[in-house]
């Protein structure tokens, strides 16, 4: 059966003007409208969400982060309730760049629970710093996932999206992307953990995305050879022509 694909654009701290954010979003919207069986999710800086959400079309929007609490005296934070109220559907949690800014596993688990409680879908990022020949890092990934998803009820678990993003493959200093063949193995391994946690039906149904140096040249093979349920794209999602091309590729790869 044809599966639908999720193409998630994580714009990080870009662009620096609302005008440019609108320009990028309009192009993504047009491409998304034409791409059957592809769901495009834009994750712009939070300050742009309210404006961009006024004319989303078939696009969905995600936040790059949220807070563990819903309201109160927490200067500078953004509540999952506020995101939901704007019409946001997804929230990235556990991104390596947030971990570098201090998000511990406890915080990531609490954010995941807050997102799920609000009926939003968390895009949970997981990935090793480096690989070892013995495959010990794989056990590390499983332990992390079990910790983050501990106490998540099955009903809520249906909204989880997992993004496998090896940290050495992320950003301008990356040493390259994973290979689609390796991704396929990692995704099977992570899916086993999801099945163990939530049972076969739910575990098999949750999307597992690939992220880390995705570009217009390698996107297709992650979706076909790697059988990724979607992609989490940083730098290349700001090269709007290339993002549009990736959306088209995803529609063909279904």
Cα atoms found within 13 Å of the Cα of residue 1, Cβ hemisphere only: 3
Confirm or reject binding of residue 214 to ligand 13P (CB under 6 A).
Answer: yes
Q: Is 95 among the residues known to form the active site? A: yes
Confirm or reject binding of residue 45 to ligand 13P (CB under 6 A).
Answer: no
Q: Which residue, judged by CB position, is nearest to ligand 13P in the bound state?
A: 234
- Smallest separation, CB 238 to ligand 13P (Å): 9
Confirm or reject binding of residue 171 to ligand 13P (CB under 6 A).
Answer: yes
Confirm or reject binding of residue 212 to ligand 13P (CB under 6 A).
Answer: yes
Residue for token pair 């005296």? 73
Strand ranges inside the chain, DSSP E: 5-10, 38-43, 60-63, 90-93, 121-126, 161-164, 208-211, 230-233
Residue for token pair 């570009």? 215
Stretch that binds ligand 13P, among 22-30, 100-108, 186-194, 206-214 (CB under 6 A): 206-214
Confirm or reject binding of residue 91 to ligand 13P (CB under 6 A).
Answer: no
Please report, for residues 218, 241, 245, the alpha-carbon distance to residue 215 in angstroms, rounded to integers and kept in the order given. Answer: 6, 11, 10
Q: Is 185 among the residues known to form the active site? A: no
Beta bridge partners of 39: 6
Residue choice 213, 218, 226, 246 for contact with ligand 13P (CB under 6 A): 213
CA distance 108 to 95: 9
CA distance 82 to 66: 10
Residue choice 180, 203, 211, 226 for contact with ligand 13P (CB under 6 A): 211
Confirm or reject binding of residue 234 to ligand 13P (CB under 6 A).
Answer: yes
Please report, for residues 16, 140, 171, 193, 217, the alpha-carbon distance to residue 147 in angstroms, rounded to integers and kept in the order given. Answer: 36, 11, 26, 11, 35
Confirm or reject binding of residue 230 to ligand 13P (CB under 6 A).
Answer: no
Confirm or reject binding of residue 216 to ligand 13P (CB under 6 A).
Answer: no
Residue choice 5, 6, 7, 10 for contact with ligand 13P (CB under 6 A): 10
Q: Which of 128, 165, 236, 245 is catalytic?
A: 165
């Amino acid at each position: 059966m044809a599966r639908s694909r999720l193409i998630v654009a994580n714009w990080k701290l870009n662009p620096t003007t609302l005008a440019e954010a609108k320009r990028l979003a309009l192009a993504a919207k047009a491409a998304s409208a034409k791409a059957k069986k592809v769901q495009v999710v834009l994750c712009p800086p939070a300050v742009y969400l309210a404006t961009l959400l006024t004319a989303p079309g078939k696009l969905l929007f995600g936040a790059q982060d949220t807070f563990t609490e819903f309201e109160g005296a927490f200067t500078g934070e953004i509540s999952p309730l506020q995101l939901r109220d704007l019409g946001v559907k997804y929230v990235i949690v556990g991104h390596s760049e947030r971990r570098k800014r201090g998000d511990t596993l406890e915080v990531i688990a609490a954010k995941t629970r807050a997102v799920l409680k609000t009926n939003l879908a968390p895009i949970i990022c997981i990935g090793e710093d480096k690989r070892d020949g013995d495959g010990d890092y794989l056990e590390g990934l499983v332990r992390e996932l079990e910790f983050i998803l501990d106490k998540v009820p099955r009903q809520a678990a249906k909204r989880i999206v997992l993004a496998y993003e090896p940290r050495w493959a992320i950003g301008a200093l990356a040493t390259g992307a994973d290979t689609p063949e390796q991704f396929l193995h990692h995704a099977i391994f992570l899916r086993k953990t999801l099945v163990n946690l939530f049972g076969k039906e739910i575990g098999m149904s949750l999307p597992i995305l690939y992220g880390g140096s995705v570009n217009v040249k390698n996107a297709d093979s992650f979706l076909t050879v790697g059988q990724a349920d979607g992609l989490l794209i940083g730098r290349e999602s700001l090269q709007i022509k290339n993002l549009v091309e990736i959306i088209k590729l995803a529609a063909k790869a279904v």
